[in-house]
Amino acid sequence: MHQDYVFLLPAPNEIVALPHARYVELVQGRLALPQYAGQQIRLGIVYVRMRNGQPAQAVNTTFSLLDFDATGHARPHPGKFSLEQNHAFYEAVRNSPYEDVDYDPEVQALRRTLRDEFAWTPSDKEQRLMLDHIFASAPPAAQ
């Protein structure tokens, strides 16, 4: 069994956990977050393998951008680039041999081309904050 954990990152090193059901309401237009009206907010989703109802292992992450209209409703981000170009960025980040992908020349080139229109890369601290939020209250997994 898997579960996703959704985070809004309105400022560097700041995370706001958003329950999955609330995220669905947000993207379906049934929920407004007026505090983000008129802004573009970074979104992180961590997919976690569950064991005995507890988070056991992060298995995938996605990092995208979410636009909000003047009333705080999420709105589609049309973008100027194709999904294939966006996919190329994710693949470059995922397959980078660099410990810090920001130093990878391929990622840098794609980032310059796409101008981070679709995706972003969290800092080590932001990744740790999200993972700490997920695993801090979970008991150690049984061996």
Given this model, what pLDDT does residue 83 score? 62
| Owner of token pair 């983000």 | 36
Given this model, what pLDDT does residue 56 score? 95
Question: Which residue ranges make up each domain of the chain?
Answer: 1-77+119-137, 80-117
| Residue at 18: amino acid letter | L
**Cα(115)–Cα(81) distance, integer angstroms:** 10
List, for the chain, all residue ranges whose pLDDT scores fall below the cut of 50: 140-143
Given this model, what pLDDT does residue 142 score? 42
79 and 118 in contact (C-beta within 8 Å)? yes
**Cα(81)–Cα(102) distance, integer angstroms:** 21
Given this model, what pLDDT does residue 143 score? 37
Given this model, what pLDDT does residue 109 score? 81
> pTM for this structure?
0.71
